[in-house]
Amino acid sequence: MSALRPLFIVAGIGRAAGTGAAAARRFSKEGYSVALIARGEDSLNALSDEIKKGGGEAAPYCIPSYSADDITSAFTSISAQFPNSHYALRAALFNVGYAVWKPFLEVTASEVQESLSTNVAAAFAFSRSAILKFKENKLDAENPKRGTLIFTGATASTRGNKMTSAFSIGKFGARALSQSLAKEFGKDGIHVAHAIIDGQIMTGAALERSRDQPLSGLSPESIAQAYMYLVNQEKSAWTWELDLRPAQEQW
Amino acid sequence: MSALRPLFIVAGIGRAAGTGAAAARRFSKEGYSVALIARGEDSLNALSDEIKKGGGEAAPYCIPSYSADDITSAFTSISAQFPNSHYALRAALFNVGYAVWKPFLEVTASEVQESLSTNVAAAFAFSRSAILKFKENKLDAENPKRGTLIFTGATASTRGNKMTSAFSIGKFGARALSQSLAKEFGKDGIHVAHAIIDGQIMTGAALERSRDQPLSGLSPESIAQAYMYLVNQEKSAWTWELDLRPAQEQW
Amino acid sequence: MSALRPLFIVAGIGRAAGTGAAAARRFSKEGYSVALIARGEDSLNALSDEIKKGGGEAAPYCIPSYSADDITSAFTSISAQFPNSHYALRAALFNVGYAVWKPFLEVTASEVQESLSTNVAAAFAFSRSAILKFKENKLDAENPKRGTLIFTGATASTRGNKMTSAFSIGKFGARALSQSLAKEFGKDGIHVAHAIIDGQIMTGAALERSRDQPLSGLSPESIAQAYMYLVNQEKSAWTWELDLRPAQEQW
Amino acid sequence: MSALRPLFIVAGIGRAAGTGAAAARRFSKEGYSVALIARGEDSLNALSDEIKKGGGEAAPYCIPSYSADDITSAFTSISAQFPNSHYALRAALFNVGYAVWKPFLEVTASEVQESLSTNVAAAFAFSRSAILKFKENKLDAENPKRGTLIFTGATASTRGNKMTSAFSIGKFGARALSQSLAKEFGKDGIHVAHAIIDGQIMTGAALERSRDQPLSGLSPESIAQAYMYLVNQEKSAWTWELDLRPAQEQW
């Protein structure tokens, strides 16, 4: 690491109980400043405050939508608050997801639109901003890697299923994007990875439901551990894709 | 086949020199009436006229865009012209495609939007109309299969690559859709298939360019032969996906 | 087709009630002479006699094992009986399979050995003999394709599962082989294809068991239809791999 | 970790300059005793001595072949030297590989046999011994994971190619095995993972060749880092498969 403080940007915080929040907490503990992008202001502010109270550096960026414009604006604000003179973006996580579970004929045109906008077009815009920012980092012996961009995938990223027509069109698309980017930007020292989360993530609600069956899903902290590993991979052996599932999962 | 005349609907005709047109000609030769949906009026009318002159039954449906509304309207018009009293939709082909080959950072937000709209949202709307219409067909001993819905895929349907970020997000999405539909509607006697066209299709322009290297790509007629085979597959052995590439292709 | 009579060689006949036998019958009906290779003499002779009684030309080649030597010997005998002066090998089917369904710790070393020998090493030897024989065919305008080599795959060809460790090591291996061959020999006009049979094949025993649920599996005749299609594919659009499963299959 | 000292068994050391040796060194540094299985006595002893000189605990097990019997014998010897009273097997790596790069028609029957024996049958036997030994470990709050079994895969594990018919049949097979085992033994707290090494590993000879292009391949140490990560994954998020390739690799 250079003298610049490493910055981690994550988009998609939900109710601050899942993967995005766990990643923010983990990266903060490892010395990263964290910039949080999300739509829900309350959870966003709560998480930012929590990290700051824990001694970390964090800032919330509430955006009205995951449109290209709103994402670009958020990055502009982040760049102002975390200037290149003192910070270097080293890791970015696209953790936004719009899930629909419905028989095909019940899916509405606006759900299709929302899935494509949120799961794919927003991923495209987020990747663009992150990669442009990674490119501002110098590549030298100390920092052979400009930065790492991670996508949170799902079972629906590689398999279309009965109830997932509207969801999988979006998750497949984001996976395609991640592969294109990994191939295009590897030579520039930008690492792009895609994690297939193949199981239920144990967020607040899921934990509540599974009280009698401990450890029936993935803990967000374990996923965050995987993301930290990806960010720390040495340049001679980068992973584009890995799957993550609970030990006892049927698959 | 019942006494009803079989109908084939194809969306995506281009300049009437590629896969959609070849499929229309082939299905016409095999006794299908063909309904042609496309945006380019001249090619559309020319193909429709050509088929009619050849003794077939055809009708053009020019739509301003591949929005859900325009596709639904086209199906309504088709249903009026080819009523259930005399026709039964037996095959539908989604051959629409929007291809972009560009380095990631040169892709515009409107190209992303267009790729998702044309390659995925339009496929969703077309599938909905086709499946609803297939469901009007009776399932009996003579017709154990309600109908077949085929998607024209590409290399970019299964691999994101350096120049294909904007294209592959759309083609991956359509493939996800086709798999979801195949799983959901197989039990209803509706067959959904996805063809990965893994090579250059020899349309007019490509033929022109390759004059010195005969047979360097896929002929649209060979692809149409594959589609006809899929439509004729017996119910006990349906294919969701096959790849198609020239004998001499490097892959 | 040239003046030479087309020859079809199939290895793996079982009790003459499954895929290999259905393919032999189908190819015979389409004008091919058929050479049948198998270990079980009674079923082999019965099928050969049946085809001959139906007006076809057939010959049985009973081999003690699927070793490279025994397979090579069978091809030598076939070449003597169906000489190049009158016959041309146009299609070959490797339909041999050794299936084991067992928890991993119950699998014996000899079952592992048998799976690898029968599913893979035999496929290797069969492919070698078939390709060498295809290479004797002249490539000309009338016969742009030297021949087609097809492998019967299974669900276990692409997915390892709890009870299939010993089976899938063999089926994965044969699939790898088919892909290598497809890539290496396409330019020579030799077409290699792999069919993933993703469901229960309705042979005698399976039919018996499913009397109350008609059409719960794949009919061997439908699979044979697919193989005939693959053999007839035009050179500009060859399929390496397709899946085949019953309409109502859960997958 | 319990009071028992963790043991790591690795099979496949080569000339002690590649993945197996790097993993042995890394696990030793992290506090594991290491048992080394290989055929080449000199490299084996040299590596064992090197680790011991560095303060680690290591023992060499030279076997005449990777037959099931020889592998079982090696595990028996290991169990005697590292008894359950003081040691617990926590990680095992199958790093044995037999690579053949040849046009299909030049591959000999004995190369086919050797590929299947070494890449698959030996993997089967090694897995059996490792899993039986993992099962001796108690599963408790302190040790929620009995052990981790890792396979070193290759590009040829997922793609058959022109020169890799004989190699890929073996590597596909080992991958199938790893997936079956991951599904069967996850619920027992045994983690099975498969790493696709998609590029040239920079062992001694490769390093020599690439003197002018530093970092053109994967360093064995980076691969070892990945294996250590897999072993340390928390039980709620296990990876079956990941790919590893150099940043600048074309793929």
The β-bridge partners of A192 are A149
Q: Which position has the token pair 């893994």? A: B198
Closest by Cα among B58, B12, B64, B62 to B35: B58
CB A236 within 8 A of CB A191: no
Q: Compare CB distances from B116 to A104, A109, A121 and report the shortest one's residue.
A: A121
SS (H, E, C) B29-82: HCCCEEEEEECCHHHHHHHHHHHHHCCCCEEEEECCCCCHHHHHHHHHHHHHHC
**CB spacing of B184 vs A169 below 8 angstroms:** no
Q: Compare CB distances from B165 to A116, A117, A181 and report the shortest one's residue.
A: A181
Q: What is the DSSP string of chain C?
A: --SSEEEEEEE--TTTTSHHHHHHHHHHHTT-EEEEEES-HHHHHHHHHHHHHTT--EEEEE-S---HHHHHHHHHHHHHHS-TTTEEEEEEEE---------GGG--HHHHHHHIIIIIIHHHHHHHHHHHHHTTS---SS----EEEEEEEEGGGT---TT-HHHHHHHHHHHHHHHHHHHHHGGGTEEEEEEEE-S-B--HHHHHHTTTSTT-SB-HHHHHHHHHHHHH--TTSB-SEEEEB-TT---
Q: Does B236 touch chain C (CB under 8 A)?
A: yes
Q: Does C229 touch chain B (CB under 8 A)?
A: yes
Tokens of A164: 């997932």
User: pLDDT digit string (tens) for B26-58?
Assistant: 999 999 999 999 999 999 999 999 999 999 999
- Residue C202's φ and ψ, nearest 5 degrees, are -85, 75
Pairing of strands C87-94, C5-11: parallel
d(CA B172, CA A158): 9
Q: Is a pLDDT exceeding 50 seen at residue D168?
A: yes
Q: Compare CB distances from B164 to A159, A161, A180 and report the shortest one's residue.
A: A180
Q: Compare CB distances from D172 to C125, C161, C176 and report the shortest one's residue.
A: C176
Confidence of residue A207 (pLDDT cuts 50, 70, 90): low
Tokens of D34: 């290491």
**CB spacing of A236 vs D202 below 8 angstroms:** yes
**CB spacing of C219 vs B233 below 8 angstroms:** no
CB C5 within 8 A of CB C87: yes
Q: Does D216 touch chain A (CB under 8 A)?
A: no
Q: Is a pLDDT exceeding 80 seen at residue D204?
A: no
CB D100 within 8 A of CB D154: no
The β-bridge partners of B94 are B11, B151
Specify the amino acid at residue B161.
Answer: N
Q: Is a pLDDT exceeding 70 seen at residue D140?
A: yes
Q: Is a pLDDT exceeding 60 seen at residue B102?
A: yes
Under DSSP, the state recorded for B26 is: H
Mean pLDDT to the nearest integer, A198-219: 75
Higher pLDDT, D14 or A156: A156
The predicted structure's pLDDT at residue A213: 59
**CB spacing of B222 vs C234 below 8 angstroms:** yes
64-93 in D: which are within 8 Å (CB) of C? Answer: 68
Closest by Cα among A122, A127, A112 to A169: A112
112-171 in B: which are within 8 Å (CB) of A? Answer: 112-113, 116-117, 120-121, 124-125, 127-128, 131-132, 156, 159-162, 164-166, 168-171
The residues, any chain, with a CB within 8 Å of residue A249's CB and separated by 6 or more, are A198, A199, D186
- Report the chain D residue with the minimal C-alpha distance to residue C174: D169
Size of interface C-D (CB pairs under 8 A): 138
**CB spacing of A109 vs B170 below 8 angstroms:** no
For residue C171, list chain D residues with Cβ-Cβ distance below 8 A.
176
First to last CA, chain D: 40
Pairing of strands B241-244, B190-197: parallel
d(CA A137, CA D247): 16
| Residue C195 CB burial class (10 angstroms; 0-12, 13-18, ≥19) | buried
The predicted structure's pLDDT at residue B1: 45
d(CA C31, CA C88): 12
Angle C41-53/C19-29 helices, nearest 10 degrees? 20
Q: Compare CB distances from C219 to B218, B225, B237 and report the shortest one's residue.
A: B237
First to last CA, chain C: 39
What's CA C128's distance to the chain center, in Å? 14
How close B33 comes to chain A (CA, Å)? 26
The predicted structure's pLDDT at residue C1: 45
Under DSSP, the state recorded for D194 is: E
For residue D219, list chain A residues with Cβ-Cβ distance below 8 A.
234, 236-237
**CB spacing of D243 vs A246 below 8 angstroms:** no
Higher pLDDT, C53 or C203: C53
Q: Compare CB distances from D180 to C116, C161, C178 and report the shortest one's residue.
A: C161
- Report the chain D residue with the minimal C-alpha distance to residue C105: D128
The pTM score is 0.96
How close B73 comes to chain C (CA, Å)? 30
Q: Does C226 touch chain B (CB under 8 A)?
A: yes
The predicted structure's pLDDT at residue C140: 83
The predicted structure's pLDDT at residue B140: 83
The β-bridge partners of A88 are A6
User: pLDDT digit string (tens) for B132-145?
Assistant: 999 999 988 788 89
C-alpha torsion angle, residues A26, A30, A33, A38 (rounded to 10): -10
User: pLDDT digit string (tens) for C91-144?
Assistant: 999 999 999 999 999 999 999 999 999 999 999 999 999 999 999 999 887 888
Tokens of A148: 């790492």
Confidence of residue B213 (pLDDT cuts 50, 70, 90): low
For residue D175, list chain C residues with Cβ-Cβ distance below 8 A.
160, 172
Mean pLDDT to the nearest integer, D204-233: 82
Neighbours of chain D (3+ CB pairs under 8 A): A, C
**CB spacing of B121 vs A113 below 8 angstroms:** yes
For residue B235, list chain C residues with Cβ-Cβ distance below 8 A.
215, 222, 246-247
The residues, any chain, with a CB within 8 Å of residue D96's CB and separated by 6 or more, are D11, D12, D66, D118, D119, D122, D123, D126
Q: Does A10 touch chain B (CB under 8 A)?
A: no
How close C113 comes to chain B (CA, Å)? 31
Reported as type and span, the H/E element at residue D168 is: helix D165-185
Higher pLDDT, C141 or B68: B68
The predicted structure's pLDDT at residue B134: 98
d(CA D82, CA C159): 36
**CB spacing of B104 vs A184 below 8 angstroms:** yes
**CB spacing of D240 vs A239 below 8 angstroms:** no
Q: Which of D102, D104, D129, D164 to probe by mutation at the C interface, max C CB count within 10 Å?
A: D104
d(CA D13, CA B53): 73
First to last CA, chain A: 40
The predicted structure's pLDDT at residue A1: 45
Q: Which position has the token pair 């929040």? A: A21
Q: Which position has the token pair 């190619």? A: D161
How close D144 comes to chain A (CA, Å)? 10
User: pLDDT digit string (tens) for C48-84?
Assistant: 999 999 999 999 999 999 999 999 999 999 999 999 9
